[in-house]
Amino acid sequence: MRRRTFLRGIAAGALALGGASWRSLTGRQLHPSAPRTPVRTLPIELGSDKQVFLDWWFIEPGYGIPFTVAQQRARSWNPVFMPRGVRLTVVPPVISPEPILVPDTPADVFMGGYCTLLYEDGLYRLWYEGYETLQSDEEAKICYAESTDGWRWRKPKLGLIEYQGSRDNNIVLLGAHGATIFKDPSAPPSERYKLLYTDRATEPDPTGTRPLNWLFGAVSPDGLRWTRLREPVLKYTSDTQNVCLFDEELKRYVAYVRGWEPQTRAGFGGRRVVKRTESVDFRRFSDPEIVLMPAPEDPPDMDIYTNAYHRWPGAARAHLMLPAFYRRAADTVEVHLAVSRDGRRWFRPSREPYIPVGPPGSGSEGQVYAGVGIVPLGRGQWAFPVTRSRMTHNLSWPEYLTRPSGGIWLATLREDGFMALEAETEGECWTQVVSFTGGELHVNFWSHRGRLRVGLVEPDGTPISGYALDDCDGVEGDALWVPIRWKGKSDCSALRGKLLRIHFHLRRGRLYAFRFV
């Protein structure tokens, strides 16, 4: 097929798709990076949702060389919507210098690596594992602490569980290893809180092999008084901390659990991986499927221990994990970052650790784990729990086991600060064709003597009158959810539902997120 015939076929197909017609471009002033022919595309509906930069999904990839000979002649080979000078940057958190919780009661002589942090009605609530000897997962006790500011914590004497002849403790559940707690907005009050944990399998599987652990559930009206479900929610061998939540978009419970690849009948196998499973009632989950595993470019001795899954708080189409990667040769565990648009297809934006182990003598040279729960911590700041240890994974030091050890730290970061669109000096990019609702464009931006300007353009790149890049007043410094203004005006409600592109121009800054409100 001749190239001309091929291009005519593309044009005919585009016209057959229907939609709004594009008026003639003759005599119109185009942006220097705009193509010389109309652009037909399906819009991305941003609505009024917060958008974050975990990948290039809504950024136009452009063309370095225009597609047709006519465009090449007309444009003198100028690029079309080509991003330049920008990159996606992973921004590491800051770890608090001192732990927020330490083992100081008979219930938590040792603190395990798995915990859940929630923020409810002005109160920070933390569930963690306490051990007496660290000799068996079955001795795990789920303990509870709370705080009004996230920094100063207390362990209330709940009087719920008898331990060592006393109820004067903060224990809420015995014998629940790798527990994750979540609040279920869909449940009746008696089951408003749910807990997923591992425990001994109660019967052989159909092959006759007795698996080590299964996944079990518990429910509670307040997160303190728990009722175990009689049957396992998934007859599947798992250990470590598995994560579950109610997905309000899917109207299903979604859990991310430990897996192995390849996996034996008994459940264990080769490298540890992360698997995903769903349930309609939290009583029975489907067979898990692999969603994240070590990449070919990773070292051959690396696998994934915990997953620490989260929905990106408040963002549309954004999921993240803070998985702990185990280096078998060094026997160390460190936290990485993984992201996804749909919760099923995952990738790691960097092969470097998000939270590495510390240097020798730091007290964290052996293992680092991220817990579950991203919470607000003052204006513009988020936090999540971290556990650290000088012990490596398989190494037991006698002196370590004869004194209280472990603890929980806070990792803090800017709101939406896991990743950012960054220009080290100067850069720009355009979105794919989008539409929005709302009346103002707000941004979460930071710069060091830099600046962000935003233009709204037609799908072909023509600046929209009154909203051009050159009309933008720009934002500088630490700009947390400030409106973009064009010659002093921030109202862009006249463009609701209109197909357009957003043009971002950055100088020495990071754009973390944006939304129309």
pLDDT of residue 26: 28
Region 94-110: what's the mean pLDDT? 92
For residue 315, the number of C-alpha atoms closer than 13 Å in the C-beta half-sphere is: 26
Q: What does pTM read for this prediction? A: 0.89
| Residue 44 sits in the same domain as residue 98 | no
Check whether residue 265 and residue 216 sit in a common domain.
Answer: yes
Among 355, 384, 415, give the residue marking a domain's end.
Answer: 415
The 10s digit of each residue's pLDDT in 377-408 is: 999 999 999 999 888 888 765 555 666 678 99
Select from 360, 383, 415 the last residue of a domain.
415
- Say what the pLDDT of residue 68 is: 80
Residue bearing the bigger pLDDT, 141 or 37: 141
Q: Are 93 and 382 in contact (CB under 8 A)?
A: no
CA 71 to chain centre: 41
pLDDT: which is higher, 80 or 218: 218
1 is a domain residue: no
Residues 44 and 167 in one domain: no
Confidence at residue 14, expressed as pLDDT on a 0 to 100 scale: 32
Residue 159, domain CATH: 2.115.10.20
Question: Residues 59, 104: one domain?
Answer: no
Number of domains in the chain: 2
Q: Report residue 18's pLDDT band, with 50, 70 and 90 as the boundaries.
A: very low
Residue 202: the pLDDT is 76
**442 and 367 within one domain:** no
What's the confidence (pLDDT) of residue 395? 79
Look-up of token digits 């309609």 = 280
Both 374 and 331 in a single domain? yes
User: How do residues 63-90 score in pLDDT, each as one tens digit?
Assistant: 888 878 887 787 777 788 999 999 999 9
Q: Within a domain: residue 12?
A: no
DSSP code string of 342-396: SSSSEE-S-SS-SBPPPPTTSS-SSEEEE-B--EE-STTEEEEEEEEESS-SS--
Q: Indicate whether 6 belongs to any domain.
A: no
- Do 432 and 367 lie in one domain? The reply is no
Residue 376 placed within a domain: yes
Q: Are residues 193 and 270 in the same domain?
A: yes
Hey, what are 439's tokens?
Answer: 């009346």
Together in a domain, 454 and 500: yes
DSSP secondary structure code for residue 323 in this structure: P
What percent of the chain lies above the pLDDT cut of 70? 87
Let me know whether 64 and 188 are in one domain: no
The last residue of a domain, from among 415, 431, 460: 415
Q: Write out the residue range of the structural domain in which residue 60 sits.
A: 21-89+420-516
User: Do 165 and 215 sit in the same domain of this protein?
Assistant: yes
Residue 304 has a pLDDT of 97
Within a domain: residue 444?
yes
In a domain, 8, yes or no: no
Q: Is residue 399 assigned to a domain? A: yes
Q: Which of 116-125, 329-338, 390-399 has the lowest mean pLDDT?
A: 390-399
Q: What is the pLDDT of residue 2?
A: 47
In a domain, 3, yes or no: no
User: Does one domain contain both 85 and 157?
Assistant: no
